[in-house]
Amino acid sequence: MEGLIIMLLFIAFFIIICSIRQINEYERGILFAFGKFSRILKPGWHVILPIFYSCSKIDVRTKTVDVPEQEAITKDNVSIRINAVLYYNIFDASKALLAVENFNYAVSQLAQTTMRNIVGSVSLDELLTERDKLSSKICEIVDNATDPWGIKVENVELKDISLPEEMKRVIAKIAEAEREKQAVITKAEGEVEAAKNLATAAEIMGNTPGALHLRTLATLNDLSSDQSNTIIFAVPIESLRAIDGIANEKQIENIASKVKRLKE
């Protein structure tokens, strides 16, 4: 009799030991009683009797879904290839297990479909310049769709956008043309400013006696600092006119003296 009792106690102890389930801090346990959902088990040790009860564990840490590269056509009919990464966590473990068969696969497929739809609704320029805005839009749509599954989508990031080689060359030509346009505009603006400054300087020098002569001497002084330069002395046209006038006066005097001698 005592042996039977000891055997029964040993069997009961063995069943209890086998019934202990550990739920880690990053997990939640889903308890089923006779195949029906009972409750969510928090982290710690729990005694779950076999046959009558069963338990499934759900990891509630943030998960990463690498959305594979997708081929899509933008609103302006440009074919591109794009991929993304999605981050989500589970806020209701019971819904994630009961409402969808494989929540990780379901989130991945939903993200792929949403990304293609969003890319098809915008132009290429919007896709390249407003990447953050489109990522937020995809995140919002996927998050709303996964709420019934107990899943919270934290963030979606568009990683890479691959363009055809022909489109890359076209974009490069457009960028080069824009740079050339800006360079021409900047040069023209510089010419206008230089012309205004030169006109102002010429007006000041014209109204100031001796200013042009001083400027000429300053220029010659700058040129004389380098021995390898060939100096061209610029003579103001007023000086040449003065010399020409003096020469004409001397010629007139010579002619007058000759005429006077002839008369004598």
Mean pLDDT, residues 7-33: 83
State what percent of residues in the chain have pLDDT above 70. Answer: 81
Task: Report phi then psi at 164, rounded to 5.
Answer: -65, 155
Per-residue exposure over 33-69, b if at least 16 CB sit within 10 Å of its own CB, e if not: eeeeeeeebeeeebebeeeebbeebbebeebebebee
Q: Is the pLDDT of residue 258 over 60?
A: no
pLDDT digits (tens, 9 = 90+) for 92-110: 998 998 889 889 999 999 9
Residue 196 confidence class, pLDDT cut points 50, 70, 90: confident
CA angle 215, 217, 220 (to 5 degrees): 110
Q: Which residue has the higher pLDDT, 118 or 242?
A: 118
Per-residue exposure over 75-93, b if at least 16 CB sit within 10 Å of its own CB, e if not: eeebebebbbebebebebb
For domain 63-163, the CATH superfamily is Band 7 domain (3.30.479.30)
pLDDT digits (tens, 9 = 90+) for 67-91: 888 888 888 888 888 889 999 999 9
The domain segmentation of the chain, as residue ranges, is 2-59, 63-163, 212-263
Cut 0.85: pTM above it:
no
